[in-house]
């Protein structure tokens, strides 16, 4: 093989970076500019997507119905917030002081007749309302983070798309295309960080092995080898120069310490860590902020709040699947692992800390924060002991902050029981389009791995949400 026959993959393999850039999930290099000192500039836009796996009850959190009968409204009362007219659950004492930072959507809806986690999560994360199952398998639509990794990849970090932590336990809580990148391929799938037994609230938390695998001597040897291959008369050839530039950018991204240092939470003051809460959700949100600072573009955070000391029930991925007694999960309004008395204060603590921290650091303008479940819960309380609520895809809520989203607004409305939207319904399509717009990603002209033009979503961004 002569030098003219070298392609991008061969050049990267020779440099020792082929598997990192082309085969490992989430590891897709981009083309950020560098400043006059040779350092990469900050990422344009990033997103932290907090997925409250299991589906929190909208009528018990952000779309409360205090005038409905007790069997519908539940035991909680809404409290006033910093924004006149916006009222949320009484346990959201910290978020109540930050409502001017975010927009609350109370008209999220899955139009299709779905009622299971698997389909609802696929629809939410892919930006569509119909799985279009073919031969028993879901379609190959990539998820939000995969599209971001393709269209806004990072060069300050060799990971563009990450997921904290991997969903575990029963497979119904894992959307089908999470780990494969859909039709874009596995290179655009997320890098999974942590697990139920290895998360940043633990003293012995270990980051992904890939962040610790850099061998300076080995990489310098391969860098020298490729340099000798390029030092021929073909150096003047544009293609060879392009591969040389690509190699240098890839080495630069891999050898930067900031990606590895993001996982060292001991660098954070104790007060900051405690502000987020010393539990899985709090520390994962703190880690997400640090990963954004290190250049990661899209981070999905599993909304698992941990397990109550006296109640170890349930897989550590679905705190919000609060069925109550009919599935052995305890009182949905209690203080167990599947109880709002345990989960809501932790969500309040962690999310308020994230929004405040991003704002104080000047990061909120360029960091979009999305918080939602895959669906809501039945507006009526199940008549059982202990009480709970069933899945409800027709209506649920979401919080959007940063990334150009205006704060202090409520968008959309549901009927008096929270059964369905009565104004401005927001499907997964509109939510996805709004996220892409906030991240400056076009939705109409992408190409898949085969060069076929496909739309990221058929929805249109909700321009009223932007300030």
Q: What is the pLDDT along the chain (467 residues), one digit of tens a residue?
A: 333 334 443 444 344 444 444 455 666 655 544 343 333 344 479 999 999 999 999 999 999 999 999 999 999 999 999 999 999 999 999 999 999 999 999 999 998 778 888 889 999 999 988 755 444 456 888 999 999 999 999 878 888 999 998 776 555 567 888 888 998 888 899 999 998 889 999 999 998 877 665 555 655 665 565 555 555 544 555 555 554 554 555 555 555 666 778 999 999 999 999 999 999 999 999 999 999 999 999 999 999 999 998 887 666 678 999 999 888 889 999 999 999 999 999 999 999 999 999 999 999 999 999 999 999 999 999 999 999 999 999 999 999 999 999 999 999 999 999 999 999 999 999 999 999 999 999 887 555 555 666 788 999 999 999 98
Per-residue model confidence as pLDDT tens digits over 31-53:
544 343 333 344 479 999 999 99
Please give the structure tokens belonging to residue 401.
Answer: 């902050």
Q: How far apart are CA 265 and CA 268, in angstroms?
A: 5
Please give the structure tokens belonging to residue 249.
Answer: 């950018």
CB burial readout 65-82, b (16+ within 10 A) else e: beebeeebbbebebeebe
Angle between helices 428-438 and 144-151 (to 10 degrees): 30
Q: Where are the domains of the chain?
A: 58-136+321-467
Please give the structure tokens belonging to residue 8.
Answer: 């991008």
Q: How many other C-beta atoms can be found within 10 angstroms of the C-beta atom of residue 168?
A: 17
Burial of 328 (0-12, 13-18, 19+ CB in 10 A): exposed
Closest by CA position to 439, among listed 402, 386, 392, 465: 402
Residue with tokens 């061998």: 215
**Residue 456 · residue 443 · CB < 8 Å:** yes
Q: How far apart are CA 209 and CA 188, in angstroms?
A: 18
**Residue 163 · residue 41 · CB < 8 Å:** no
Residues listed for the chain? 467
Within 8 A by CB and 6+ apart from 245, the residues are: none
Using DSSP's 3-state secondary structure scheme, residue 17 falls into coil
377 strand-pairing partners:
391
Q: How far apart are CA 97 and CA 166, in angstroms?
A: 31
Terminal-residue alpha carbon distance, the chain: 56
Q: How far apart are CA 85 and CA 460, in angstroms?
A: 28
Q: Can the peptide bond before residue 165 be classed as cis, meaning omega within 30 degrees of 0?
A: yes
Q: What is the pTM of this model?
A: 0.86
Within 8 A by CB and 6+ apart from 459, the residues are: 127, 427, 428, 429, 430, 431, 432, 433, 434, 443
Q: How many other C-beta atoms can be found within 10 angstroms of the C-beta atom of residue 5?
A: 7
Q: How far apart are CA 432 and CA 126, in angstroms?
A: 8
Helices (H) and strands (E) in the chain, counts: 12, 14
Q: How far apart are CA 368 and CA 50, in angstroms?
A: 11
Q: Rounded to 5 degrees, what are φ and ψ at 370? A: -120, 130
């Amino acid at each position: 093989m002569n030098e003219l026959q070298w392609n991008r993959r061969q050049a990267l393999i020779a440099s020792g970076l082929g598997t990192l850039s082309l085969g490992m999930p989430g590891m897709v290099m981009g083309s950020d500019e560098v400043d006059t000192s040779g350092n990469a500039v900050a990422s344009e836009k990033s997103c932290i997507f907090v997925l409250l796996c299991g589906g929190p009850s909208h009528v018990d959190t952000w779309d409360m119905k205090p005038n409905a009968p007790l069997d519908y409204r539940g035991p909680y009362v809404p409290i006033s917030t910093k924004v006149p007219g916006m009222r949320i659950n009484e346990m959201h004492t910290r978020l109540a002081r930050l409502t001017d930072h975010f927009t609350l959507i109370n008209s999220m809806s899955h139009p299709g007749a779905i009622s299971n986690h698997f389909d609802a999560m696929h629809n939410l994360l892919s930006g569509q309302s119909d799985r279009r199952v073919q031969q028993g398998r879901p379609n190959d639509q990539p998820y939000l983070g995969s599209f971001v990794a393709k269209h806004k990849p990072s060069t300050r970090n060799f990971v563009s798309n990450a997921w904290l932590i991997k969903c575990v336990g029963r497979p119904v809580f894992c959307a089908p295309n999470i780990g494969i990148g859909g039709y874009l391929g596995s290179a655009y799938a997320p890098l999974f960080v942590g697990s139920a037994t290895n998360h940043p609230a633990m003293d012995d938390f270990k980051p992904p092995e890939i962040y610790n695998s850099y061998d300076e001597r080995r990489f310098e040897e391969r860098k020298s080898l490729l340099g000798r291959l390029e030092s021929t008369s073909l150096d003047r050839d544009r293609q060879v120069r392009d591969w040389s530039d690509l190699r240098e950018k890839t080495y630069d991204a891999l050898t930067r310490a900031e990606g590895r240092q993001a996982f060292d939470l001991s660098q954070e003051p104790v007060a900051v860590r405690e502000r987020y809460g010393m539990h899985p959700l709090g520390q994962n949100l703190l880690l997400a902020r640090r990963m954004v600072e290190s250049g990661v573009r899209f981070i999905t955070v599993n909304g698992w709040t941990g397990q109550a000391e006296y109640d170890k029930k349930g897989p550590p991925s679905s705190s919000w699947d609060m069925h109550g007694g009919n599935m052995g999960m305890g009182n949905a309004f209690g203080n167990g692992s599947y109880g709002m008395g345990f989960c809501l204060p932790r969500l309040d603590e962690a999310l308020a800390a994230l929004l405040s921290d991003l704002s104080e650091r000047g990061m909120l303008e360029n960091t979009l924060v999305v918080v939602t479940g895959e669906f809501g819960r039945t507006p009526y309380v199940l008549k059982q002991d202990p009480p709970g609520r069933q899945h409800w895809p027709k209506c649920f809520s979401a919080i959007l902050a940063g990334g150009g989203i205006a704060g202090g607004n409520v968008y959309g409305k549901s009927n008096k029981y929270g059964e369905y939207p009565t104004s401005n319904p927001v499907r997964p399509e509109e939510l996805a389009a709004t996220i892409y717009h906030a991240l400056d990603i076009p939705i109409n002209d992408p190409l898949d791995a085969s060069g076929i033009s496909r739309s990221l979503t058929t929805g249109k961004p909700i321009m009223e949400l932007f300030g």
